[in-house]
Structure 1
Amino acid sequence: MTTFFRKYLLLQTFVFSGISALYAQPIPDMAKAQTAALNSITAADLSAYLHIVASDSMEGRATGEAGQKRTALYLADKFKEFGLSPAVPTAVDKSYFQKFSLVEKTWKEVWLKVGNKQKEFLKDFYAYGDVQLPEATAMKIVCAGYGIEARNYSDYTNLDVKDKGVIIFTGEPFKDSVSLVTKTKQSSTWANDWRAKADLAYKKGAKAVFIIVGNTDTDFETRLAALKDHLNAPSMAFTHKKKASAFFVPASLAAEMLKSTPDALASYKKNRTGTNTPYPFKSAKVIAKAGVTERTVETENVLAVIEGSRYPEEIVVLTAHYDHLGIENGQICYGADDDGSGTVALLEIAQAFSIAKSLGHGPARTILFMPVTGEERGLMGSEYYTDKPVFPLKNTVADLNIDMIGRVDAAHPNVIDENYVYIIGDNRLSSELHTLSENANTGWQGPKIVLDYTYNSFDDPNRFYYRSDHYNFAKNNIPVIFYFSGIHADYHKPTDTVDKIRFDKMAKITQLVFLTAWQLANMDHRLVVDRTE
């Protein structure tokens, strides 16, 4: 008898306290199955799994490297043990692995020349994304304002950017506290998505895109200091498509490229209306070069499913990224919290649903458990899945994403304060999902978790909503919740180790995710999408 079956047969049955009146009260047998499943999620199991996932043998799970692949095999074996089916069609059967190729790129020769002045990479400017100008390329420079083209607002009125270098501001225009894009006090997705702005400029024929970082040179210097180590490291790109890219410059350099001044640029930015004629900036002589060396990397997402009994075509997705940073400077970056914690939570939730199914109450909707790869390299595994989904995105009900739930941050330094989780994105696309999440937290036995919405703000300076795998679902209009416990001193360091994980706290959050998924999978109607970002 496997550990899995031995475990649930020993479970005692408890009486479930019920869910909100908004949702159907489960029948008694279903309540027993749910309670048995819920109580199968334990700190002991999470610890056992994480001591494997974040062990020396997994070597930090760097995307495409041996440790990541060993972890993928381990996860697939556990899903198979729990009775979950592989989800990825192959020529002969189905596989647990959604395999894809990436290209690792290392900067070779990158420079920018404005007039007769040579600008230094990672000092005067930086670059991000699939920038490729292998040969020195001269270009005329124009300014496209905020780089937005929407129903209520466009920066491209009477502006030709074909074969030019295009300078773009971050953010979006407001007048009297009202966005000119949304016509409300709420920002649009353009405000925080430089990639969408760059993509638009390239579609209009731009040769290169230059994003102005912040409003002052100090803003640029602060951002560069935070990113410099990351920018020096090799980057990953897809083989099936080219991702947006841009050069990032301070306001003073942008003004120099336009033979203008920072004050004139600031005034131009302040007075954008979306219908005005482009400002007649002049272009300095600008030449850019961005060469790279390339290496092909093979990697894989892990996909396992429990098929729904009543609505099998509707899919509830649970994600966590199982990759991390690998070995840096001879030291393993274990990634116990980031995101070993979310990865092993998926295993416990998968086992819980399997227990419920073995007791005769499998989910009404299909549940896809998907530990993804490449998150640390730019949310790449989840983006690949949403580009090439195994199940149609139109049938995907929601994504619950777990990333770093095993530690506490500086805002919760004491044991008495650790019973919390940050909830991000739950109300962005579905008001019903917010209600459902709150109900899941109040409808179960035991201590309740403090649901902290600090980072759910549209103006969160950390931009956490855009920094984990749920975002690739959200940008496809699929409601999401991101479960997160915050940044700590060991973030992205070799010291993010298993011995520092708060497993009791982690178990409570994992139970909360399970109960939220249970409601999504079993409610008598599909989750309503009633909002837009």
Structure 2
Amino acid sequence: MKNLLILLALIFLASCSLVKSKSGEDAIQYKNIEKHIAELSSDKYMGRMPMSSTEQITVDYIAGQMKEIGLDPANKESYFQEVPLLAVSSTIANTLDFETPKGILKLDKMVDYVTFSRKMEAEQSLDQSELVFAGFGITAPEFGRDDFQGMDLTGKTILVFVNDPGYGTTDTYFKGNTMTYYGRWTYKFEEAARRGAKGCLIIHETGPAGYPWKVVANNGETTKLYLKPENGYNDRCAFEGWISKTAAEKLFASCGITFDEAKKQAVQKDFKPFALPVKVSGWMKSTFETNTSRNVCGLIRGSKQPDEVVVYTAHWDHLGVAATVNGDSIYNGATDNASAVSWMLEIARAFKSGPAPERSVLFLSVTSEESGLLGSGYYAEHPFFPMNKTVAVINTDVMLFMGKFKDVMLTGSGQSELDEWVRREAEKQERYIAPDPNPDNGMFFRSDQFPFVKQGVPAIYAKGYVDAEKFGKEETMKQVDRYWKETYHSPFDEYHPKTDDLSGIVEDAKLLYHVGANLANSTEWPKWNEGSEFKAIRENSRK
């Protein structure tokens, strides 16, 4: 009888635990996710541009929801972390002019070229700047790659391909079709500046870039945001920008080589840079405004290890009001990224409805992702919890309104042990893990987990993506492709309640709530896998 009573007591306790765990999941409701998406993507918010007239109502809405859910202010007594920003508004020349052996080649702004500059000088110009073809603009000793070979680039402009030499290859050079950080346009501008170049022009191609030219053009003369500098960005190039593939084809042809020949040279392991018989001229005029934007942050303090934290991130910003397309100039950002803010808020609600976590859990809705991960980057440099006390970061971005998915797509899969934490919960939903179908896009480096990753924190970037239940794989990928071509970063990224299906976001929120709860109630520290470029950073920080 005694043993029977003990057994019944254990069963009762286990059932209570399951009920509590389920109660957290049950708090994630379609109606709440829909409410947040509909609100934040409405025209009232004018595209949620940081430092615009609608930033205040945006961050107030998110902070208000955090307070209503029951989160504590994460930044002492505040739900906000101020992020000092520099806003740069530029006008560029109608044409960027190239003096070539076959005459003057004029590239039209927005159609053929886009340039910008963060240097805090009112006027910038290229005046007969020598043009150097520098392959992919990469210095990567671990791959035996130096696209500059000691060339003096002072006052010169470099022309480089987007992505890295592994793209489109069948071998293992770099990481094949999986983009490395060297393939990111942000890296190329940074490296050009380190090499002393005055300008850096990246050749756009839709496949290697991961988005069509119109995304570049729509962002042409819009206000750009950067973290406020102490040196006026005097260490950056005067001209950073893009030219279209069509423009590059004309430019190479004027020098007596084809686009394909130039690409073939650039992918060679022994590539050496060379000066083109071309000089480039153009100008920009800029105005500057310094101000602060805000990250929004709520906290659940851990019951046993409150100094250790699991972080959820989702950026709140979008592109504001920009180029008019079919009579609409408000870039509402429903999928990008009202969807993930809603996902994060409802995960927070689940935590407050379920058992208290043993580790702390931070919910961080960051500013200025669209301008280069500025809000998450600022937090990573000014964290509330040290990076070596941050167990993991769980992020998502651009959640599509296609209903439930059979898959859980992991961006950056294979990097860390966190893949297994996600797989276990995915199986409970009878879903399977899918790798990123477009690893060449470098999405792992393009969202708000990456500033944490650079400091060694293992990251999850996960969502349903490749296999929607109602469509199947083939049709799902057709719709995904259509989204990137027609909706992404356009005024058409809106919420349509009659046709959009948010049930997949509900499922993803439940799944990643459980992943985060498992981490928050564990004493484990997930590790980077062997071969990850971030493994050593983490190990050194945890010593």
Smaller-chain TM-score bracket: 0.7 to 0.9
Identify if the C-alpha distance between structure 1 residues 442 and 225 changes in structure 2 by more than 3 Å, giving closer, same or farther. Answer: closer
- Distance in 2, matches of 1:157 and 1:64, equals 42
Q: CA deviation at 1:284?
A: 2.9
Pair 259,436 (structure 1): closer, same or farther in 2 beyond 3 Å: same
Question: Is structure 2 residue 316 aligned with structure 1 residue 322?
Answer: yes
- What are the ranges of 5 or more consecutive residues in structure 1 without an aligned counterpart? 1-17, 19-25, 409-414
Match of 1:353 in 2: 351
**CA-atom RMSD in angstroms:** 3.6
Whole-Å Cα distance in 2 between the matches of residues 327 and 144 of structure 1?
Answer: 35
Judging changes above 3 Å, is the alpha-carbon distance between structure 1 residues 457 and 521 closer, same or farther for their aligned structure 2 residues? farther
Match runs of 1:80-91 below 5 Å? 80-88=67-75
**Is the 8 Å Cα contact of residues 410 and 462 (structure 2) preserved in structure 1?**
yes
Matched, 1:134 2:127: no
Tell me the CA shift for residue 511 of structure 1.
0.6
Change (3 A) 1:525 1:147: same
Kept in 2: contact 1:143–1:168 (CA 8 A): yes
TM-score for both structures, normalised by structure 2: 0.76
SS at match of 1:268: helix
Of 222, 227, 230 in structure 2, the residue corresponding to residue 238 of structure 1 is 227
Q: Distance in 1 between matches of 2:329 and 2:138?
A: 44
SS in 2 for 1:290: strand
Alpha-carbon offset, residue 513 of structure 1 = 1.4
TM-score (norm 1): 0.77
C-alpha spacing 1:303/1:495, structure 2 compared with 1 (3 Å):
closer
Asked whether the 8 Å contact 2:411–2:435 carries over to 1, the reply is no
Cα drift, residue 495 of structure 1 = 6.5
Check conservation: 1:142, 1:258, Cα contact below 8 A. Answer: no
C-alpha contact (below 8 Å) 1:405/1:509 kept by paired residues:
no
Instruction: Kindly tell me the number of residue pairs found equivalent between the two proteins.
Output: 478
Q: CA deviation at 1:56?
A: 5.5
Could you tell me the percent identity over the aligned residues? 24
Match in the other structure for 2:413 = 427
Change (3 A) 1:378 1:280: closer
Structure 1 residue 520, shift from structure 2 partner: 1.8
Separation (CA, whole Å) in 1 of partners of 2:110 and 2:436: 29
After TM superposition, give the deviation of residue 344 of structure 1 in Å: 2.0
What are the Cα deviations for residues 188-218 of structure 1, in whole angstroms up to 9, with x where unaligned?
A: 6145312212212211211111223349xx9
Q: 1:421 to 1:298 in 2, by over 3 A?
A: farther
Report SS of the residue matched to 2:436: helix
Q: Is the CA contact 2:177–2:440 (under 8 Å) kept in the aligned structure 1?
A: no
- Is the Cα contact below 8 Å between 2:92 and 2:221 reproduced in 1? no
Distance 1:519 1:426, change over 3 A: farther
**What is the Cα deviation at residue 316 of structure 1?**
1.4
SS in 2 for 1:94: coil
When residues 394 and 36 of structure 1 are mapped into structure 2, their CA distance, relative to the original with a 3 A threshold, is same
Residues 219/309 of structure 1: CA separation in 2 closer, same or farther (3 Å cut) = closer
2:460 aligned with 1:481: yes
| TM-aligned CA deviation for residue 29 of structure 1 | 5.1
SS of alignment partner, residue 523 of structure 1: coil
Paired with 1:56 and 1:122, the residues of 2 have a C-alpha distance of 26
Q: Please give the alpha-carbon distance, in whole angstroms, between the structure 2 residues aligned to 1:270 and 1:406.
A: 35
Alignment match, 2:92: 109
CA spacing shift, 1:259–1:201, aligned 2, 3 Å: farther
| Matched ranges for 1:31-430 at <5 A | 31-55=18-42, 57-88=44-75, 93-110=76-93, 111-115=95-99, 117=104, 118-128=106-116, 130=118, 134-151=124-141, 152-153=143-144, 154-173=146-165, 177-180=170-173, 182=174, 185=176, 187=178, 189-190=180-181, 192-214=183-205, 223-240=212-229, 242=233, 246-249=240-243, 250-252=247-249, 255=252, 262=259, 265-273=262-270, 278=272, 281-326=275-320, 333-356=331-354, 361-405=355-399, 407-408=401-402, 418-420=404-406, 422-425=408-411, 427-430=413-416
**For 1:338 and 1:246, how far apart are their aligned partners in 2?**
25
- Aligned partner of residue 219 in structure 2, secondary structure: helix
Runs (5+) with no aligned partner, structure 2: 1-10, 466-479, 534-543
